[in-house]
A = this chain, B = another copy of it.
Amino acid sequence: MPQSFETATALTRTDAGFTASLDPGWDVGGGVLNGGYLLAVAARAAVEVSPHEHPVALSASYLRAAAPGAATLTVTAGPAGRTLQHAVVVLSDATGPAVSVQTTTATLVPGESSYAVPMPAATPVEDCLSIAEHAHLAPPGMPVPGLSERVDTRLDPVTAGWALGEFSAKPVIRAWVRFADGREPDPLGLVAFTDALPPTSWAIGQLGWAPTVQLQTLVRALPAPGWCLVEARANEIAGGWIDEDYCIWDSTGRLVAQSRQLARSPRPSVDQVT
């Protein structure tokens, strides 16, 4: 039974900040922890020291791969404003800093959008492909990530041709996601979803891993219970770099989160960028 998301992101307050125990099961293969998971741990630390309830904007630099196990977090918070609070959170393992995050916390309140991009058409979740149940979907040589046992990920077959060797002209991957432990989505949970899909370039046949360099996540609304739809697309792949752009809608079709990351283009093996 995998650890719950609550346990995997739990923090203990110390004189210097917080400690956490990074769950080795949130890996993307090869012992490398998922960027969205690490960002959620950092976001929780920011919320802990804020008068506001939710992470609304997070920008992370991934300095090197964080080791599973004991980690420390330091939070340097700015003044607590009426509307929001800025802070810098640094997550370190025994070797030193691994992720540095600029955080903005605020309190999201229920209410309609005055404008929002609609949820795209997607295959019903029951007709989608579960990554966890289809280990063979991973490209040859790519380990099946523990991540897929933490985030129940159902690939829309329309954008999953790559899993069958039928590559698309467009680097777009769409999937329904929810926590495998039954936890309903909330702003912190959405953070973990903003880097949860396979590299977008797999859609066009550029397989291999894509180490995240910088990731910005915006949480836009309180999500309704149920499955979230994630659509990830690259805008440009060039010179060894790729961007990945996520939009996440909740079960009511409301846009609830966005992210954009710059990553190194896929490489044959999981490793870190130096």
Contacts and interface: CB of A to CB of B under 8 A. Distances in A.
Interface of A: 56-57, 59-61, 63, 78-79, 81-84, 86, 88, 97, 100, 102, 104, 108-109, 111-117, 170-171, 201, 204, 206, 213-214, 216, 218, 220-221, 234-241, 243, 247, 255, 258, 260, 262, 264, 273-274
B214 A104 contact: yes
A114 B213 contact: no
Given A78-B97, A108-B239, 17 more contacts: A57-B214, A59-B102, A61-B86, A63-B78, A63-B86, A81-B273, A82-B274, A83-B274, A88-B100, A104-B214, A104-B262, A111-B239, A113-B237, A115-B236, A116-B237, A220-B236, A220-B243
Contact of A235 (B97, B116, B264): B116
A128 to B, nearest CB: 24
A235 B117 contact: yes
- Best-surrounded residue of A170, A214, A237, A274 (most CB of chain B within 10 A): A214
Nearest to A110: B239
A205 to B, nearest CB: 10
A199 to B, nearest CB: 13
Contacts of A240: 83
Given A236-B255, A238-B112, A102 B204 contact: no
Contact of A213 (B84, B88, B236): B84
